[in-house]
Structure formats: structure tokens, C-alpha cells
Amino acid sequence: MKRIILIVLIALIAAGAAGAGVWFFLSKRAPVAVSAEAAPAQSAVPLFFPLESMTVNLQSDDGQQHFLRIGLTLKLGDAVTQQALTDHMPEVRSRILLALSNKHPEELAPLEGKRALAEELKTLITAPTDKSVAPIRVQDVLFTEFVVQ
């Protein structure tokens, strides 16, 4: 008899806990009526444009060879920017490679060095490739691979 009462008691406690959990989560997700004017405008979903990985020799003062293998993804605002970037990719890659090959391993080791490099690359990529061409709008430069050896 005690065993049956214990099982019933455990079942009631479990059912109560489940009911309380459902009520708690459903009450948080209650829909709020929002008028069309009050709703914030949906921002466009950014495009992420991956570049092929690059390997460059780094500058060295210690007589040893140092390499950087880097993978980049560019955060773009729209497909027009993506097409402009694709059209000028050889120039963009050349700029990136020249900038990277001018770096020292010590510059790239700290977090601040990586952040500064991302900003420098963003500036290089957004610079117009020709006077008659509008600048390429890059929102952010993201590292997908970063190995200094």
C-alpha cells in the first residue's frame, strides 16, 4: 500500500512540475499585438562572401622564414556589391597579398594586431579599383583561418 501511495505521489509531483514548466514557457512567449507602424523595419540579411585561402611569406628580422595562412570572408550588404567584388577579384586579391606580405609575425600575434589587420584589409578592399568605379562597400572582414608559422 505504501508503495502505491509513493508512486502516485511521485506521479503527481512530476505532473505538477511539467504543468508549471509549460505554463512558465508559454506565458513568456505570449504574442504582443504590435501595429505596423510600431514594428521596426526588417534589416536586410547580409551576404557572406568567402575568399579562397591565401598563404604568404611574412617579413622576418630573425633570419627564419615565417608564413601566414589566412582565410577571409567578407560581410557585404547586397548582391550588387558581391558582383562588383567578383568583377575586381584579381585586383582585390593582389592588394590583400601585398599588404599581408609586408607584415611581421609579431604584429599579427596579439588580438589587437588581428583587429588592426581586419580594419586595414577592409580599407584596402573598399578603395576604388579605378577612378570611374564606385568603391566596394564591405561591412566587415572576418577571419575564417589564421595560422602564423
Domains of the chain (ranges plus CATH)?
47-148 (3.30.479)
C-alpha cell at 24: 512558465
Rounded Cα–Cα distance for residues 67 and 70 (Å): 10
Mean pLDDT of 43-65: 86
What pLDDT, on a 0 to 100 scale, did the predictor assign at position 43? 57
How would residue 145 be classed by pLDDT, with cut points 50, 70 and 90?
very high
Residue 36: strand, helix, or coil:
coil
SS3 of 99, please? helix
In the block, cell 589587420 appears at 117
Q: For residue range 5-18, what is the model confidence (pLDDT) as tens digits? A: 888 888 888 888 88
pLDDT digits (tens, 9 = 90+) for 92-123: 899 999 999 999 988 888 899 999 999 999 99
CB 64 within 8 A of CB 56: no
DSSP state letter for 144: E
Query: Average pLDDT for residues 1-6, to the nearest whole number?
Result: 83
Predicted TM-score (pTM) of the model is: 0.65
